Amino acid sequence: MNHLTPTDLTAALQWRYATKGFDSNKKIDSATFDALLESLRLSPSSFGLQPWKFIVVENTALREQLRAQSWNQPQVTDASHLVVLAVKEEIGASDISDWINCLAITQQTPIDQLAPLQGMIQGFTGGMSADDMLQWNTRQLYIALGTLMTSAAVMGIDSCPLEGISPAAYDQILQLEGSGFRTKVACALGYRSDMDKYATAPKARFAADRVVTRL
């Protein structure tokens, strides 16, 4: 398997930035974009519950509508691809059962051997308030967001996370209302424009001694 060296990884992460200006003529090829979608699908989540849906918005008219609900940020329409990350609001007994079935089939494990795990997940999630569950699920979604942006960077793909959006308007435009999923954040993916002045700005981060402690 091919890996990145520490130097390669750091270079890729230094190169990455929240791309404001995308080159609208440059498209991510389908093999690369499929790998980005796989990075989302393979993301880790608590208990493996995958409380999420990823919506790839290809329709130009929809992207225009979404842009109007995103402070008119041009990334929404100009980037090669736009992915909306939606959270599953609730994890109920049938979701847990779906997950246990998925595990049983994939790992060829008799379902009754997974009963203790199923009970444990049910006990854990059953004790949560609706709001706590939504927050917990949303945190898992942000693992997927981090996975996506890092996966993009190591393949030389630009990205811009978009929190400055109107989730309720997105839900309406994407017809998520009543689906059990809610828009939380989006991510534009593609190639930086030569004109983006932010592309060459040095990356600003606090020094390591402020954010890292060794005990």
What phi and psi, each to the nearest 5 degrees, are found at residue 184? Answer: -120, -40
Binders in 167-206 for a second copy, by CB under 8 A: 174, 201-206
Single residue of 27, 54, 122, 169 touching a second copy by CB under 8 A: 54
Shortest separation between residue 73's beta carbon and a second copy, angstroms: 14
| Tokens representing residue 173 in the block | 């435009």
Residue 5, interface with a second copy (CB under 8 A)?
yes
Binders in 63-82 for a second copy, by CB under 8 A: none
Cα–Cα distance for residue pair 149/36, rounded to 1 Å: 9
Residue 31, interface with a second copy (CB under 8 A)?
yes
Cα–Cα distance for residue pair 200/30, rounded to 1 Å: 28
Binders in 117-156 for a second copy, by CB under 8 A: 135, 138-140, 142-151, 154-156
Shortest separation between residue 118's beta carbon and a second copy, angstroms: 14
Binders in 90-119 for a second copy, by CB under 8 A: 98-99, 102-103, 106-107
Cβ proximity to a second copy: between 64 and 98 the closer is: 98
> Please, are residues 174 and 62 in contact by the beta-carbon 8 Å criterion?
yes
Single residue of 24, 27, 46, 196 touching a second copy by CB under 8 A: 46
Cβ proximity to a second copy: between 38 and 177 the closer is: 38
Cα distances from 189 to residues 14, 131, 149, in angstroms, run 17, 30, 9
When computed from its CA atoms, the radius of gyration of the chain, rounded to whole angstroms, is: 19
Closest CA to 102 of 120, 114, 88, 93: 114
